[in-house]
Chains A and B, each alone.
Chain A
């Protein structure tokens, strides 16, 4: 097992280089660069100035050279500055000569995305465990069938459609929830606590929408896992010994059914930094999804590569955890690996 771990960790380095190389080249496949924005079609703007800008950003050099320059910087953890947002740092804030702090793009977008995703994951796991367990315990009853049906419907709804409908119902027809954005207009006059609750109020819809498919998937997974466990011999044994049903479910069955969830948690790690560009657009949330999407459209290479790099590192770590969890849970595979 240890040998396997070390091998995987060592593999990460060439893989990261491979991923970044492939991503870099794919990025350059799409025609155009930062100078091809919609504004560039303004007859008052001259071609020479665009050419000068290209030279400044090394865009006129061969792609492999540009990659080399980028690699050199990233190894020293220098993510560079954005092309589009005029010199704002990609990752973390810098100070200019007058002491003004210029915040990093990822630094500003990541927290809200993380918050939404973490709240989402917490809710998904807690609700799923409850729903999945109820469903499994009351297998084939009306309750099970309704929960299952609801889960499937949640999985099948196109997110942006539901979002707009909910925004209309809760924000326009009735004034229960805010429609978009992260803060009320006069939030600065609220207390700390007030501001926090204001933020939560704004996050109710976005989190609910982005949670739906995850909720459906995990609930189903828990249900199936619980069903597997509940049919196993040791449970029957426990029942025949006269243990209380509640005891059986919570202490014995649940514990075993939840272990495989570790795999899922591992696979969810890279997703933590990813935002849904669709949800973020609709709800006007300045998160990682929108940042990434805008960067791609504007060919803002430093930002694109910065986000992809962080994402790849997290993915590699996440899949490693997932694979370990999976192997641990399934003895058949464990044997195969150890061989």
Chain B
């Protein structure tokens, strides 16, 4: 018996140590050809492929490949054609005329015309439609469709974010949906679209397959099939990537900077991409609570935080500090604004000016009370780590900070909506349209609204209102540059960092632009291809 076990274990040991990946793949083949399957991973399953109703990222990731909008963003984040080939803005800036391309077809061959656009607009503005996004479209006062290829919208008042809203509205087919209840139609699981891909097989809970749409109004992609595997756990996703079972995944800074370099076999078959991310993380003060109503305190804390340290520690350097809520490299970013430097002495000076003194236990006190507060954040590893680093720096200048991590729904409902917090670590997205009305205007402080920090600045209010009405790009730019200046000076939040988006892609996938343009690497995903020699052994492409 004993000898048997010894033999068995040695056999297992030997087998597991052998290198059976002896195949050498030559990734230098760059010949463009049609075909192939790209497999990626999603952490959650789409709930509903009608974007106006679904709220989750998984749904819009899939839906965006199936549907088109009137216009879209190009690689430099300027507007370009999609369903509309061109558009004109009237002199009074209140009317936009979209000229729709001729000969467009839905995937079932039916023509795509202005009546589909009108139908979609009517849907999203219908009070019975369960969409949270209607407000951008209900402000349209008049819509005209003089012919099949023209769509004209008129706003009562100039609305500068208008074009961005039309780039976000995915157009739905009237001929299929006109008799359906949009809230419960089976279309949400079995859509008909017009873009590069159409829905193939959706295996519930496991994978969503998209196949090439030969009738795509922007053309046909090279890759035949996109398979999104639903793998909730990111460690499992990484293992699948390592085994070559998935081609694409978003990775975190540690995987990017430490794991891949340490694993040459993995590195050899994977390309890593870095691009400006889509959001920024900030420390937000509750301006309705003492002492955060005092600008000096907020600025002091801003100076006391070492943002480079946070970027280095939390993101391993894969991020940038920012000084305005816009994507670095875009025109809305004010290049003359610099983030607050790390200057603990200046911080102490400001605090002393505000009346604080160092106590014997090394805490700042005023009127007998020490300066202490609680930072709350949701369950997000990076935000937690950020809070811990901030806590340490603030302790150094005598501020006592406690940290609490809270599950999301509780976080929003018990603390944010009720204004029951001291300081939060949270994130916003780096908006493509510069309008920040909903977040910073003093009228948006109601429960459930987004100015939950309680910021009020009349000058900023005016700028935000103006910016919404100015359609001239250069004039608009000036407005928002000034807005950013006030925001930085008032420091209702401390900009912590804008992290990079990190992606790992198997080297079989070609055609990815690097370095990534402002719109990111996915903007030309329809141009990606897999050379014949690098394809998987695919028995079928269905």
Contact = CB atoms under 8 A, between A and B. Distances in A.
Direct contact of A and B (CB under 8 A): yes
Given A32-B409, A282-B233, A102 B48 contact: no
A179 interface: yes
B136 interface: yes
A46 B134 contact: yes
Given A167-B236, A181-B231, A282-B233, A100 B186 contact: yes
Nearest to B44: A294
Closest 9 CB pairs of A and B: A286-B205, A32-B409, A45-B132, A39-B55, A47-B448, A100-B186, A31-B413, A49-B132, A43-B438
B131 interface: yes
28 contacts: A32-B410, A32-B412, A32-B413, A33-B409, A36-B412, A37-B56, A46-B133, A47-B446, A47-B448, A52-B130, A86-B54, A86-B188, A87-B183, A87-B184, A96-B185, A102-B186, A164-B239, A179-B243, A181-B229, A181-B231, A182-B206, A183-B206, A188-B540, A281-B232, A282-B233, A282-B235, A286-B45, A290-B232
A56 B242 CA distance: 46
Interface in A22-57: 30-33, 36-47, 49-50, 52-53, 56
A172 B135 contact: no
Contact of B439 (A43, A169, A172, A286): A43
Contacts of B235: 164, 282
B448 A50 contact: yes
B414 interface: yes
Given A164-B235, A179-B245, A180-B239, 15 more contacts: A40-B55, A41-B450, A45-B55, A47-B447, A49-B132, A87-B184, A96-B184, A108-B204, A169-B16, A180-B240, A185-B37, A282-B236, A284-B230, A297-B407, A297-B408
Q: Which of B16, B232, B450 has the most chain A CB atoms inside 10 A of its CB?
A: B232
A189 interface: yes
Nearest to A44: B133
Interface in B408-443: 408-410, 412-414, 428, 438-439
A174 to B, nearest CB: 6
A84 B413 CA distance: 18
Given A39-B56, A284-B236, A30 B409 contact: yes
B48 A86 contact: yes
A12 to B, nearest CB: 32
Interface of B: 15-16, 20, 37, 39, 45, 47-48, 53-57, 127, 130-136, 183-186, 188-190, 201, 203-207, 227, 229-233, 235-236, 239-240, 242-243, 245, 407-410, 412-414, 428, 438-439, 446-450, 538-540, 542
B184 A84 contact: no
Contact of A49 (B130, B227, B428, B450): B130
Contacts, number: 158
A172 B448 CA distance: 46
A244 to B, nearest CB: 23
B124 to A, nearest CB: 11
Nearest to A180: B236
A109 interface: yes
B137 to A, nearest CB: 11
Interface of B, secondary structure class, is loop
Contacts of A47: 446-449
Contacts of B135: 44, 46
A126 interface: no
A229 to B, nearest CB: 26
What range describes how many residues of A lie at the interface?
35 or more
A36 B413 CA distance: 7
Nearest to B444: A43
Interface string A79-106: 0000011110000000010101011000
A40 B416 CA distance: 12
Nearest to A167: B239
A284 B232 contact: yes
B409 A36 contact: yes
A168 interface: yes
Given A108-B205, A180-B240, A282-B235, A45 B20 contact: no
Contacts of B407: 297
A31 B245 CA distance: 40
Contacts of A245: none
A330 interface: no
A290 B231 CA distance: 12
B204 A286 contact: yes
Nearest to B227: A185
Contacts of B203: 183
A49 B233 contact: no
Nearest to B165: A44
Contacts of A299: 409
Contact of A284 (B37, B131, B186, B233): B233
A233 interface: no
Given A100-B186, A186-B538, A109 B446 contact: no
Given A44-B136, A87-B183, A167-B239, A36 B408 contact: yes
A188 B449 CA distance: 48
A175 B21 CA distance: 9
Contacts of A38: 408
A18 interface: no
Nearest to B131: A49
A138 B54 CA distance: 62
Contact of B15 (A30, A168, A174, A179): A174
B206 A172 contact: no
A37 B55 contact: yes
Given A31-B414, A32-B410, A181-B206, A173 B16 contact: yes
Nearest to B437: A43
A259 to B, nearest CB: 31
A39 B57 contact: yes
Contact of B409 (A171, A188, A280, A297): A297
A2 B325 CA distance: 73
Contacts of B133: 44-46, 49
Nearest to B45: A286
A178 B184 CA distance: 37
Contacts of B409: 30-33, 36-37, 297, 299
Contacts of A186: 538-540
Given A43-B438, A46-B132, A181-B231, A168 B47 contact: no
A188 B412 CA distance: 44
Nearest to B438: A43
B419 to A, nearest CB: 15
Nearest to B238: A172
A32 B39 CA distance: 35
Residue from B133, B183, B428, B448 having most chain A Cβ neighbours under 10 A: B448
Contacts of A178: 245
Contacts of A164: 235-236, 239
